[in-house]
């Protein structure tokens, strides 16, 4: 069995952020239309970390394993991942690749896609809360869907914001003036307050830290809530801790908005909220795209198992 192996450097070379945003749109539409076969995410709690596994079948079957070990120090990242692709007809493994870069890139790309559909067309100010890998990727992805005249970054440690954007001195004031707010932390509790968010703003949250999380519950309850899938309302590790216990009927799937099956933003004054759980459809789309480009360009190494 021949397996194409792709390193992180090769995956970086093969994936284009703008192309990935467009590819994700078709993936989310297919997910909401029931055209994909997916399994619930599973979690294995370890003494020093967490392993999450997710699987889904699109053109190929994608299986991703991601580990979260907060005690890791550079050069070892706290979030590490691998992705395997399998033939749907035979089950044979076709590719094995780094998933750490895919996870970082696809998460921000999906948030940018949601902002493209939900943020006001005249949104001109962006606030990114956080100073890690996801903050950097959001700062690359979100300007691809809106022309921001002002970009600011708030972090708990000011030095983290250097080189990312204009440091925001006062978080409450920065939230109150922003048209788009991207929460990119791994915080175990809310990092902003719902009452700080102005009418018409769009808020996205990608953090995962059960049993808590970075998104205020009140904001999820009062805003126009959009999710990747209604599985986001299940308890972790399947879904998001911030949404657990809420009526899934309150949420609209991003694929439904993309397919015009349900409305996204309904007024200029409405607050829209995108809460991401991190779905395998994003990994499948990104991994299949990397695989196609690798075959086209002759990138990677074929290993016989």
Q: Where do runs of H (alpha helix) occur along the chain? A: 8-14, 17-32, 100-118, 133-141, 158-161, 171-177, 217-222, 254-258, 280-297
DSSP state of 78: S
CATH of the domain at 285: 3.30.1780.10
The C-alpha atoms of residue 10 and residue 45 are separated, in whole angstroms, by: 31
Q: Which residue in 254, 230, 256 sits closest to 244, CA to CA?
A: 230
Q: Could you count the other beta carbons within 10 Å of the beta carbon of residue 52?
A: 19
Both 110 and 247 in a single domain?
yes
Both 61 and 204 in a single domain?
no
Residue 161 has pLDDT above 80, yes or no: no
What is the number of domains present in the chain?
2
Question: What pLDDT sits at residue 140?
Answer: 97
Both 289 and 258 in a single domain?
no
Q: Scan for tokens 């953090």, then name that residue.
A: 207
Which band of pLDDT confidence, cut at 50, 70 and 90, is reported for residue 162?
low
Both 157 and 253 in a single domain?
yes
The average confidence (pLDDT) of the chain is: 95
Which band of pLDDT confidence, cut at 50, 70 and 90, is reported for residue 296?
very high
Both 67 and 216 in a single domain?
no
Domain that holds residue 233: 104-278
């Amino acid at each position: 069995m021949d397996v194409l192996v792709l390193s992180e450097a090769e995956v970086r070379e093969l994936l284009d952020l703008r192309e990935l945003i467009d590819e994700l749109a078709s993936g989310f539409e297919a997910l909401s239309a029931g055209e994909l076969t997916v399994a619930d995410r599973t979690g294995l709690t370890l003494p020093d970390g967490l392993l999450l596994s997710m699987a889904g079948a699109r053109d190929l079957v994608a299986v991703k394993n991601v580990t979260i070990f907060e005690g890791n120090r550079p050069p070892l990242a706290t979030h590490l991942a691998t992705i395997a692709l399998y033939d749907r007809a035979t089950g044979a493994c076709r590719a094995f690749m780094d998933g750490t870069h895919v996870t970082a890139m696809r998460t921000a790309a999906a948030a940018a896609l949601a902002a493209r559909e939900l943020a006001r067309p005249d949104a001109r100010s962006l606030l990114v809360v956080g100073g890690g890998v996801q903050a950097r990727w959001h700062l690359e992805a979100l300007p691809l869907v809106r022309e921001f005249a002002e970009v600011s970054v708030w972090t708990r440690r000011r030095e983290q914001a250097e080189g990312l954007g204009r440091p925001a001195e006062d978080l409450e004031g920065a939230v109150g003036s922003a048209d788009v707010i991207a929460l990119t932390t791994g915080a175990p509790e809310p990092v902003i307050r719902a009452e700080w968010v102005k009418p018409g703003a769009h808020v996205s949250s990608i953090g995962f830290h059960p049993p808590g999380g970075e998104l205020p519950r009140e904001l999820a309850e009062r805003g126009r809530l959009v999710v990747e899938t209604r599985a986001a309302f299940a308890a972790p590790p399947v879904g998001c801790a911030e949404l657990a216990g809420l009526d899934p009927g309150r949420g609209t799937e991003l694929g439904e908005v993309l397919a015009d099956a349900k409305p996204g933003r309904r007024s200029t004054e409405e607050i829209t909220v995108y809460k991401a759980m991190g779905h395998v459809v994003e990994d499948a789309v990104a991994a299949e795209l990397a695989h196609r480009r690798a075959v086209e360009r002759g990138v990677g190494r074929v290993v016989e198992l």
